[in-house]
A and B are shown apart, each in its own frame.
Chain A
Amino acid sequence: MGADIGLDVAKAVEPDRVHRSVYSEPAIFELEMERIFNKVWTYVGHESQVPTVGDYWTVQIGRQPMIMVRHSDRSVRVLYNRCPHRGAMLYGDRSGNVGKGIICSYHSWQFDTDGSCKAIPLDKGYQGTRLTPGDGNCNIKTAARVESYRGFVFASLAADGPSLSEWLGPAKIAFDDMCDRAPEGEVEVVPTCFRVIQQSNWKIFLENQLDALHPAVTHESTGRAAGEVEEAIHKKGGSAPLSYHFLSAFATPISKWDAFQTIGYRHGHCILTGYMGLRPRDPDTLAYEKVMEKAYGKKRMEEILGVNIHHVLLYPGLSVQSPLQQLRAVRPLGVDKTLTEIWHFRLKGAPEAIYRRALGYYNLVNSPSTMVNADDLWNFWKIHKGLESQGGDWVSFHRNAGQDLETNDVTTSVIGTSEQPMRNQFKAWTQYINGAN
């Protein structure tokens, strides 16, 4: 194994490089489940997914099957998807409404949507035992903490740790940027979730999200294909929808990506400043700006639409593309298998055309027929295979190492293609693995 570090994670991460076992070693993955995913704030869903009392969605936090449910007091609760009696999962489907209450299909124990036990059939049989009706052990266990920010619901399985707001820090711009772009200041979910499984470690996806060095290489084929058709449409006197530009922008030459910037925050969160050119002067945008100006006034509208973000990464489980109202939640399934759940949101009060513009991106880039992620996922599998190999021990994050500008826990890259975001992610990774909340 060359530099055999065994399972000594303290030796696995250096400021400019990481040992391959961090990606490929099942025991380290188990450690990550325990020390990262069982503690951090995990995105469970948007409040608009459960508009009516009793509505639920099933979701996974780390290894734990959970239920996000709308309680009778209108709050959103997050419960373990497990019956306290014999341990059966309560819901095996993805979403629905609990109706009169949560009922276990095994022995018909009944619960309220806050997890409290309402009824146990033939309950005399349990009297005087260690599972006596009325005591807390008969309730469904709840997530230790649940908080939401602008409609986005997070849960943590650990009782201690920073509040959601503290944990998000300046990276809460992911949700501010998304919601502020709505004339009503809110978004609502488009109730379709695309799910794509990647044959690779979860960290490979997160690193790729803010890697401005790869698009011109990985996505050249799609960028050029879209650019050629875009040009042909223009030559015929037509106008190509903005979706073509979303795709052709991927062919931006590698030398241009240095003009962008990455900014790292505490807890591994990070931003890539944008390049999509989302403020064209077409009639749809102008109509949208009129509605925005009416809602916010000209000065505030300019501030909102001037925010220049491509991705915000909320480490370790969420990638938010705020100007296009889309996000990808990362659910590690195993050391070499990762599920992404991909959602799109609608800007409340914005013209339909603005929703449709972003929908083009959702369909072309984020659906299972993606012409973009097809090549990312192929890379991810090859990266994972490479990191299982003994051809080398270290993963390099040397690009512009030692040049990051750091002030007050904010790290700025000197150029857009710096490997600063990966270094920032591993700084947080190390803190979590060493026991920080």
Chain B
Amino acid sequence: MARKAKPAPKSAARKSTTRKSRAPNGHDTLREVEQLLYRQAECLDGKRWQDFIELFTEDGTYWMPAEPKQTTGDGVPSIFWEDRNLMTVRLKRLTHPRAWSQKTAWGTNHVVGNVTIEQEDARTGDLIVRSRFHMMEFRNDTTRHFAGSYIHHLKKTKSGHRIKLQRVDMVNAEGPYEYVLQAWV
């Protein structure tokens, strides 16, 4: 999808972008990755939870550390440490007709920027991408503001990059939470 967005001569667009020799290519890859991050933010803000989950590989993990010094979520407290099964529990809860705290109107707005490719595996096409986000939530007549960094470990697949691991470090991770987080950030 990202490749479609790349300006290219109309007639040869499709053919030329599928040429193996074009990848890895810094600009194409960065553009593709940015589009993936923006799509993910749109899934969250649009409450398209299933689409959000499908951005992950089958063995993908969404992780929000409890503390910035943590290097893995395995075996330590985390705010989120969810594989696709647990993500599906969260989805089913959010969409259940008697998820009471979902009864009040709420919405979020994510902005993702400062996208940097930190590592690129020339052989597999796998990437490690760092970015920063701001998210404002309006819920129950109250606004909350969250910000922090994302690190996406992306796996190259036939259908583009998918998320093997997303690490979300919120600057306010260790602060007291006024209410809680019902959905991913």
Contact = CB atoms under 8 A, between A and B. Distances in A.
B92 interface: yes
B175 interface: yes
A374 B175 contact: no
B4 to A, nearest CB: 35
A310 B61 CA distance: 30
B88 to A, nearest CB: 5
Of B81, B89, B100, B181, the most chain A CB neighbours within 10 A belong to B89
A368 B180 contact: yes
B93 A222 contact: yes
Chain A interface category by residue count: 35 or more
A244 B179 CA distance: 23
B77 A359 contact: yes
A221 B85 contact: no
Given A224-B96, A229-B89, A363 B81 contact: yes
Contacts of A369: 64, 79-80, 180-182
Contacts of B179: 196-197, 199, 377
A240 B99 CA distance: 23
Interface in B87-139: 88-93, 96-101, 104
A102 to B, nearest CB: 24
Contacts of B80: 363, 367, 369
B17 interface: no
B149 interface: no
Nearest to A226: B89
Contacts of B96: 220-221, 224-225
Nearest to A355: B75
Contacts of A197: 176-179
A193 B97 CA distance: 32
A229 to B, nearest CB: 5
B55 interface: no
B78 interface: yes
B100 A375 contact: yes
Interface residues of B, number: 34
A166 interface: no
A375 B101 contact: yes
Contacts of A377: 101, 179-180
Interface string B41-76: 000000000000000000000001011000000011
Interface centre among B75, B79, B140, by most chain A C-beta atoms within 10 angstroms, is: B79
Nearest to B185: A369
Interface in A235-282: 240, 244, 247
Nearest to A223: B93
A196 B180 CA distance: 7
Contacts of B77: 190, 192, 194, 344, 359, 362-363, 367
B180 A221 contact: no
Contact of B79 (A225, A368, A373, A378): A368
Interface in A323-379: 339, 344, 352, 355-356, 359, 362-364, 367-371, 373-375, 377-379
A371 B90 contact: yes
Overall SS of chain A's interface: helix
A172 interface: no
A378 B100 contact: yes
A351 to B, nearest CB: 12
B75 A359 contact: yes
A367 B78 contact: yes
B67 A221 contact: no
Nearest to B100: A375
Interface string B134-172: 000000100000000000000000000000000000000
Contacts of B67: 192
A244 B93 CA distance: 13
Contact of A225 (B76, B92, B101, B140): B92
Contact of B92 (A229, A352, A355): A229
A224 B92 contact: yes
A224 to B, nearest CB: 6
A240 B101 CA distance: 27
A85 interface: no
Contacts of A367: 66, 77-80
Contacts of A364: 86
The 3 tightest CB contacts between A and B, nearest first, are A225-B92, A378-B101, A221-B96
Given A197-B179, A199-B178, A375-B99, 9 more contacts: A195-B175, A196-B180, A221-B93, A221-B96, A225-B89, A363-B79, A368-B181, A374-B180, A375-B100
26 contacts: A192-B67, A192-B77, A194-B77, A195-B176, A196-B176, A196-B179, A197-B179, A221-B99, A224-B96, A226-B89, A229-B85, A229-B89, A232-B85, A244-B89, A339-B176, A344-B77, A355-B75, A363-B81, A367-B66, A368-B181, A369-B79, A371-B89, A374-B101, A374-B182, A375-B100, A381-B140
Interface of A: 190, 192, 194-197, 199, 218, 220-222, 224-226, 228-229, 232-233, 240, 244, 247, 339, 344, 352, 355-356, 359, 362-364, 367-371, 373-375, 377-379, 381
